[in-house]
DNA sequence: ATTGTCGATACCCGAAAGGTATTGAAGGCC
DNA sequence: GGCCTTCAATACCTTTCGGGTATCGACAAT
């Protein structure tokens, strides 16, 4: 069976006239006549009963017309659906994210993606970074938001955002009037530190910074969340180091200083399996980049 | 959309291997590769993700595979159904018949047709000859069993059976010992005649025969059915003229004689609209001819 | 390192689809 | 009733496209 011939035949039946049908198909009349004849020969059935100059559709022709229309519609529908699935306008996308994103980058990204691709089923899973990586590699996740560094040859990584680390002191602190400081000036100071289990990456990064500055922080308080750390500092319990997100909190009693050593910023990245050229992932990563830019712009506008 | 490409694509997915798929399709591998590429280009979607030497079917490819299989099955089914309808193996056939057939030719024809074409919906309508003709012409009947003559340019007529007319006399009649007679010997004889309203054609035919033999029959009795006429003659009520079917009755007291004038036999014919080349009608007329021959053979065997 | 396997590419050929010009037949118009 | 129009079919040509053979390039197994 050839769909072209079915399309031609349907046009002839619909128009009731070879000339008009040919015009509507954008071809000349003779080839149309020939295609219909060929179709009849192949089926071995008279579809149009030619009765001097005019023709009438036979019973078999009518049956074929019905079936052909359904087939053509089905084919169009199939093409459309496959195109949409291929281009990532539809389908199912499983996104993993580290807990640190749950209240920051994830919401704007998801919101933007949902409005851009309402027909995509988006499944979100909050997981730890190590599980995110293995899930990506095994294919149970399509894309993930996590903190670098991560070493996997099979994954593609794009950094979305880099937050410089800042020093936090109470406004009553001796450094409160300055705009920057050296990290080693925190040696011996009462230090508010991130929980090793709740925020392992921040804990490790800050501990590492202190080590590089040749001191071990005098920890007086642990906290489970970044804004809790900021709160403790504002309350005068001690000093701390935090990613620049803290400037959003605008807490009274809190002073924020640049760190002269300029430690490597805290990055947030997006990862997916290399070779996953599926439109869904392509679209998601694009949207994520857009949403991140927009979110950063909004942040800047807010703090200004 | 091109069904050929869908068929090729399904083969590749099914076999999981271009070479084997090509073999199963009866083509070489290179054109198959090209057709798949062309399909992907047309859809703008990666259906098979080529990963060094091997490939895996993408989500879009899987969706297309499902849809394509349904489309191909649908197309095959449509072709089959149209072929069957066109060849008259299926469909609906409306057959009209004159009352005189109801108990003679019609049953064997219908029985034979039903067993040969069990999927054809057969609609039977008993009508008068004039209504049969107009119904055929208007298209509300596909084919009819009726008595000639009938004059219609648009109808095709085939005579199925010709029954010679015979003379009937009681076994006590002066002619009973003879094997033939001249119709005018019935002049003045008490005559059993067919009802003008119940059997108009037989009435007309016999009256005409008498007129041609230059006498007007002395009618003493009318009858509504052929076998009633035979019964009346057997009972000694009078003489009669009847089609040769009467020999089937084998009535005691009834003698059957050839008519020397050899009047035109009583024919039964089959008619359909010229140009109705539909397989249904073709098949029905063929079956009708076959059934008639078989029926006649059976008749001869019975009377012998 | 070598060979075999698999899909892709290059190039050629024949079939088939589309176009133009024309025919033949039927229907409409005066 | 003759003439013109209309419509599908036919004849013939051109171009496109599907299929075939030979070969490549890359990976895998030995």
Residue A81 is part of which domain span?
Answer: 3-86
Spatial CB neighbours of B24, under 8 Å, sequence gap ≥ 6: B11, B15
The closest nt to B55, taking CA to C1', is: C7
Q: Judge if B156 and B275 occupy the same domain.
A: yes
Helix (H, G, I), strand (E, B) or coil at A54: strand
Asked if the Cβ–Cβ distance from B275 to A76 is below 8 Å, we say no
How is B125-164 classified by DSSP, letter by letter?
EE--HHHHHHHHHHTS-SEEEEPSP---TTEEEEEEEEE-
Cβ contact A232:A238 at 8 Å: yes
The closest nt to A30, taking CA to C1', is: D9
Q: Judge if A229 and A201 occupy the same domain.
A: yes
CA of B46 to C1' of C5 (A): 24
Calculate helix-pair angle for B18-25, B3-15, nearest 10 degrees. Answer: 130
Give the CA angle between residues B144, B146, B151 to the nearest 5°. Answer: 95
- Chain C bases near protein CB atoms (7 A cut-off): 5-11, 17-21, 24-27
Among B197, B201, B193, B199, residue whose Cα is nearest residue B237: B193
> Where a domain ends, among A46, A69, A86?
A86
pLDDT of A303 reads 64
Give the CA angle between residues B54, B57, B62 to the nearest 5°. Answer: 165
Cβ count within 10 A of residue A182: 13
> Where a domain ends, among A61, A86, A111?
A86
Query: A57 — contact with chain B (CB < 8 Å)?
Result: no
Helix (H, G, I), strand (E, B) or coil at B258: strand
Give B52's DSSP letter.
T
Name residues 72-101 of chain A within 8 A of B (Cβ). Answer: 74-79, 81-83, 85-87, 91
Chain B residues near residue A82 by CB distance under 8 angstroms: 43, 45, 47, 60, 63-64, 67
Q: Judge if A187 and A202 occupy the same domain.
A: yes
> Where a domain ends, among A45, A61, A86?
A86
E strand or H helix that includes residue A204: helix A200-212
Model confidence pLDDT, tens digit, residues B150-200? 877 778 899 998 889 999 999 898 888 888 999 989 988 999 999 998 888
Q: Judge if B281 and B294 occupy the same domain.
A: yes
Q: Judge if B171 and B252 occupy the same domain.
A: yes
Q: Judge if A155 and A290 occupy the same domain.
A: yes
Query: B34 — contact with chain A (CB < 8 Å)?
Result: no
E strand or H helix that includes residue A143: strand A143-146
Q: Judge if B187 and B208 occupy the same domain.
A: yes
| Mean pLDDT calculated for residue range B115-136 | 92
Helix (H, G, I), strand (E, B) or coil at B241: strand
Model confidence pLDDT, tens digit, residues A131-164? 999 998 888 899 999 988 887 777 889 999 888 9
Q: Judge if B79 and B110 occupy the same domain.
A: no
The closest nt to B34, taking CA to C1', is: C8
Q: Judge if B145 and B65 occupy the same domain.
A: no
Domain CATH number, residue B186 = 3.40.190.10
Domain CATH number, residue A8 = 1.10.10.10
Q: Judge if B275 and B247 occupy the same domain.
A: no
Q: Which residues pair with A245 in a beta bridge?
A: none
Cβ contact B265:B181 at 8 Å: no
Q: Judge if A157 and A177 occupy the same domain.
A: no
Cis peptide before B149 (omega within 30 of 0): yes
Q: Judge if B169 and B230 occupy the same domain.
A: yes
Digit-by-digit pLDDT tens for chain A (304 residues) are 899 999 999 999 999 999 999 999 999 999 999 999 999 999 999 999 987 778 989 989 999 999 999 999 999 999 999 999 988 899 999 999 988 777 788 999 999 999 999 999 999 999 988 899 999 888 889 999 998 888 777 788 999 988 899 999 999 999 888 889 999 899 889 999 999 988 888 899 999 999 999 999 999 999 988 888 999 999 999 999 999 887 777 788 899 999 998 899 989 999 998 877 678 998 999 999 999 999 888 877 776 6
Q: State the Cα–Cα distance between residues A216 and A212, nearest whole angstrom.
A: 10
Chain B residues near residue A43 by CB distance under 8 angstroms: 79, 82-83, 86
Instruction: Please count the structural domains in chain A.
Output: 3
């Amino acid at each position: 069976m050839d769909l072209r011939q079915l399309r031609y035949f349907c046009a002839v039946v619909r128009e009731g006239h070879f000339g008009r049908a040919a015009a509507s198909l954008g071809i000349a009349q003779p080839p149309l006549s020939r295609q219909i004849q060929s179709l009849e020969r192949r089926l071995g059935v008279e579809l149009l009963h030619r009765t001097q100059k005019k023709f009438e559709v036979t019973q078999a022709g009518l049956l074929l017309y019905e079936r052909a229309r359904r087939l053509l519609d089905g084919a169009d529908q199939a093409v459309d659906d496959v195109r949409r699935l291929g281009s990532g306008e539809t389908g199912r996308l499983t996104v993993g994210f580290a807990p640190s994103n749950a209240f920051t980058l994830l919401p704007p990204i998801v919101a933007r993606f949902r409005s851009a691709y309402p027909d995509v089923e988006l499944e979100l899973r909050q997981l730890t970074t190590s599980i995110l990586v293995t899930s990506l590699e095994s294919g149970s996740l399509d894309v993930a938001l996590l903190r670098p560094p991560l070493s996997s040859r099979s994954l593609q990584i794009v950094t979305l955002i880099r937050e410089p680390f800042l020093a936090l002191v109470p406004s009553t602190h001796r450094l409160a009037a300055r705009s920057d400081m050296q990290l080693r000036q925190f040696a011996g100071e009462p230090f508010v530190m991130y929980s090793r289990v709740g925020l392992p990456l921040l804990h490790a990064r800050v501990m590492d910074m202190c080590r590089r500055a040749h001191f071990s922080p005098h920890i007086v308080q642990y906290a489970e969340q970044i804004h809790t750390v900021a709160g403790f500092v504002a309350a005068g319990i001690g000093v701390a180091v935090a990613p620049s997100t803290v400037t959003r909190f605008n807490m009274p009693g809190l002073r924020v200083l640049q760190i002269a050593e300029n430690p490597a910023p805290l990055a947030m990245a997006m990862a997916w399996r290399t070779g996953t050229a599926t439109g869904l992932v392509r679209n998601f990563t694009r949207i994520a980049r857009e949403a991140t830019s927009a979110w950063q712009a909004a942040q800047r506008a807010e703090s200004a």
